[in-house]
Structure 1
Amino acid sequence: MKKDNGLYWLLFVIIVFIIDIASKFWIINNFSLFESVNFLPFFSITYVRNIGAAFSIFEGQRMMLTAIALIICAVIVRMLYRNNRQQKLENLSLSMILGGALGNLFDRLYHGFVIDFLDVNFGNWHYPTFNIADCAICVGIGLFIFRNYKKTKKTV
């Protein structure tokens, strides 16, 4: 194993994973299914179970979603291994995606569903309920796109 690779960033993956799992553990131990507590006019904590992927797509396709998640995780670990430790923005983005993917994968394997609880709505508009892992994945993807856009602009 090369000494100065992006696997150094696996510590951040573990942190994201632990925060996600701890938040879900707190939810299942303090909320009944579908129980909701409003914190702001547009934000509440609502315990729901998602048997699909984002926005409940592929509902009931547990094995397929598990296989896809495992492949994505393996690809990201490989990318981190090939990266230099100093590629901070790319490694951070990949670590966030991996930590989130592992959090949701753990749920899917352990519970048979993903625990979602962050609930956002504005008036009649309601965003699908999500969790910390989903946030990490989305921010990670955003950073990855930004980093590659920035990198592309430099080479043009």
Structure 2
Amino acid sequence: MRIFFLTALVVVFLDGLSKSLLSKVLPWKMVVIPGVFNLVKVRNPGVAFGLLATFGEKGRLVFIGLALVGLVVLVWLARSEKKRGSQIALGMVAGGALGNAWDRFTHGAVFDFLDFHLGPYHWPAFNLADAAITLGLFFYLWGLKK
């Protein structure tokens, strides 16, 4: 369980640090790799990809509550998990959920800044917490396959 909590703590720290620094120093948009990658300032009051953003304050509280319920489930899963890699993966998901929940609680919305696109194809902006959640789920499900 220690590795689960340590991983979650590292993700929360890196996510918070990146959001804090970039929200202060980043102009509205900075092209990093033309035609592929930008750093942007986006406040997302919804969930993934801006979905459900129109729910306002009630939605924010629901999203925070759902994140907390999800964290309880992740701790329960991690306690029953024997594989170190699976505990790390679940810790990544937990840390990402905590990072975004904290952003919602303190700022009312999640700060997204990573913006990838290729020609006409554009992926919605995201942050390190989102990346940790996605990669953690991928690695956890991959581990279940083995």
Amino acid in structure 2 at the alignment position of 1:70: L
Matched, 1:52 2:50: no
Partner secondary structure for residue 63 of structure 1: helix
Alpha-carbon separation, structure 2, partners of 1:145 and 1:79 = 13
Kept after mapping to 1: 8 A contact 2:103/2:109: yes
Partner secondary structure for residue 45 of structure 1: strand
**Which residue of structure 2 lines up, in the alignment, with residue 3 of structure 1?**
none
Cα distance, 1:25 vs. partner?
0.1
Alpha-carbon separation, structure 2, partners of 1:72 and 1:7 = 19
Matched, 1:101 2:94: no
Matched, 1:18 2:13: yes
Kept after mapping to 1: 8 A contact 2:3/2:84: no
Cα distance, 1:7 vs. partner?
3.7
Kept after mapping to 2: 8 A contact 1:90/1:143: yes
Kept after mapping to 2: 8 A contact 1:7/1:81: no
Cα distance, 1:91 vs. partner?
0.3
**Which residue of structure 1 lines up, in the alignment, with residue 24 of structure 2?**
29
Partner secondary structure for residue 38 of structure 1: strand
* Unaligned segments of structure 1, at least 5 residues: 1-5, 151-156
**Which residue of structure 2 lines up, in the alignment, with residue 71 of structure 1?**
69
After superposition, what is the alpha-carbon deviation per residue over 1:29-65, rounded to whole angstroms, capped at 9, x for unaligned? 1125xx1101112001001100000011121321211
Amino acid in structure 1 at the alignment position of 2:70: I
Cα distance, 1:11 vs. partner?
1.1
**Which residue of structure 2 lines up, in the alignment, with residue 117 of structure 1?**
113
Amino acid in structure 2 at the alignment position of 1:55: F
After superposition, what is the alpha-carbon deviation per residue over 1:65-113, rounded to whole angstroms, capped at 9, x for unaligned? 11110100111112223333xx112101100000000000000000000
Alpha-carbon separation, structure 2, partners of 1:8 and 1:26 = 27
CA RMSD of superposed structures (Å): 1.2
Amino acid in structure 2 at the alignment position of 1:37: M
Q: Which range is displaced more, 105-114 or 23-32?
A: 23-32
Q: TM-score, normalised by structure 1?
A: 0.86
**Which residue of structure 1 lines up, in the alignment, with residue 31 of structure 2?**
38
Percentage of pairs with the same residue: 33
Q: Between Structure 1 and Structure 2, whose CA radius of gyration is higher?
A: 1
Partner secondary structure for residue 130 of structure 1: coil
* Unaligned segments of structure 2, at least 5 residues: none
